[in-house]
Amino acid sequence: MKTVQLKKTEDKKFEYLTEVLILKEPLVLVFGNRYMLQEKNIFDEVREIFKDGHIVFGSTSGDITSESVSDDSIIITAIEFEKSSFLIKTANVLNSNVQIDSFKTGNELIKQLPKENLKYAFIVADGSFTNGSQLTKGMNSVTKDDLLITGALCGDAARFETTLSSYNENPKEGKVVAIGFYGDTLEVSFSSNGGWTPFGPERVVTESKDNILFKLDGKPALDLYKTYLGEKSKELPGAALLYPLKVKSTDEKRSIVRTILNINEENNSMILAGDIIEGSKVQLMMTNVDNIVNAADTCAVNALKSRKNKPELAILVSCIGRKLVLDQRVEEEVEEVIQVVGKETTICGFYSYGEIAPFNGEKNSQLHNQTIVITLISE
């Protein structure tokens, strides 16, 4: 595997962060600031550098490399695979401004990837119109738990206005991209972790629809949430990113974290980043910088634990909520990962609106919030 990385800041050309190499038909991951990805010539600019590259775009809430975490930039990570191969397919969750069922999109997307020798799929999905819970369920309906899938919902800083993604064209809204990886020698491992601590009593979801939470214990959900936040409730909806919900499934076997994206004062409801089922139990969560950083370290250790070979590429996806907590110390999360996987491993990734990965030890993909997901690849 050969890799090169480039960086572009506003009004400047792409500059190499690594040794300049000529790559043959590389996978070109282009993650960056939404405004910069909206520039009309961005695809042509990347195509000029990688004339035979397979170019995947995704807007972010911060770009991740071993060098830095950048907000106002575009980072290119180009990878040439020497022993394995990849295939890229796309689907839409938006067509002529009409939202398409995300379950159907996920189902149709994975069906496009030939199954023979398919080892792994990485997903770059629209973060505005995609129901991530339904997207993962749709993908799982095809894989039958025999395919590892990780990925992310694209971001737009903390604006939550527009997210962009695409394959071999200018970035646009509504696209979901799947990169399928093939090869006998390909080794892929992953882990996810949070670092958030629940507090306060558990409440039962007594009224919800898809990703909208209306009532807890028969009372308006937003009113209860504001009570717990106290003075910080005046900072809603922004403050909600720092106080997500722990959601325990109805069978109580698994818990998942859900970010609150917005609130509706009229009907006292909260809009979450993933579906929430009636009958499930929820609890508020909080964290601090040390817990977030320690969780990243643990995540990297777990991703590395089961491997036979050293990773050549590490794809990091971390939540915008974690970035807001880390603030000026945001790079510490990445530094912990580098210490574990080694400086010789190429690091790429971004801060997202939702992380796609199975629970640790499983292959059935889920939508997570407020987590870091680390995928390690070698061939």
- pLDDT digits (tens), the chain, 379 positions: 999 999 999 888 999 999 999 999 999 999 999 999 999 999 999 999 999 999 999 999 999 999 889 999 999 999 999 999 999 999 999 887 778 899 999 999 999 999 999 999 999 999 999 999 999 999 999 997 789 999 999 999 988 899 999 999 999 999 999 999 999 999 999 999 999 999 999 999 999 999 999 999 999 999 999 998 989 999 888 888 899 999 987 766 788 999 998 899 999 999 998 899 999 999 999 999 999 999 999 999 999 998 999 999 999 999 999 999 999 999 999 999 999 999 999 999 999 999 999 999 888 999 999 999 999 999 9
Domain definitions of the chain by residue range: 2-192+291-378, 197-285
Q: Are 268 and 223 in contact (CB under 8 A)?
A: yes
Q: Concatenated DSSP letters for 80-121?
A: E-SS-EEEEEEEESEETTEEPPHHHHHHHHHHTS--TTEEEE
For 366, half-sphere exposure in the C-beta direction (CA atoms, 13 angstrom radius) is 21
Q: Are 302 and 193 in contact (CB under 8 A)?
A: yes
Q: What is the pLDDT of residue 239?
A: 87
Q: What angle do CA 83, 85, 91 make, to 5 degrees?
A: 165
- Cβ burial of 104 (10 Å; 0-12, 13-18, 19+) is middle
Instruction: Say what the pLDDT of residue 94 is.
Output: 84
Nearest to residue 330, comparing CAs of 62, 31, 7? 62
Alpha-carbon distance of 372 to 257, in angstroms, equals 12
DSSP 256-306: EEE-EEEEETTTTEEEESS---TT-EEEEEE--HHHHHHHHHHHHHHHHHT
Question: What distance lies between CA 250 and its chain's CA centroid?
Answer: 25
Cα atoms found within 13 Å of the Cα of residue 2, Cβ hemisphere only: 10
SS3 139: helix
CA distances to 33, 74, 153, 269 from 61, rounded to whole Å, are: 7, 11, 10, 26
Q: What is the pLDDT of residue 251?
A: 67
Pairing label, strands 354-358, 269-272: unpaired
What are the contacts of 266-269 at 24+ separation with CB within 8 A? 267/214, 268/214, 268/220, 268/221, 268/222, 268/223, 269/212, 269/213, 269/214, 269/220, 269/221, 269/222
The rounded Cα 280 to chain-centroid distance in angstroms is 24
Alpha helices (runs of H) in 145-247, residue ranges in sequence order: 221-229
Give the end-to-end CA distance of the chain in Å, rounded to a whole number. Answer: 7
User: Measured between alpha carbons, how far is 118 from 46 in angstroms, rounded to an integer?
Assistant: 28
Please say whether the beta carbons of 24 and 54 come within 8 A. Answer: no
Question: Is the CB of residue 353 less than 8 Å from the CB of residue 164?
Answer: no
Strands 245-248 and 219-220, by their bridges, are: unpaired
Alpha-carbon span 376 to 190, nearest angstrom: 6
**Residue 302, phi then psi, degrees to nearest 5:** -65, -35
Pick from 1, 168, 167: which is nearest to 84 by CA?
1
Q: How far apart are CA 376 and CA 345, in angstroms?
A: 9
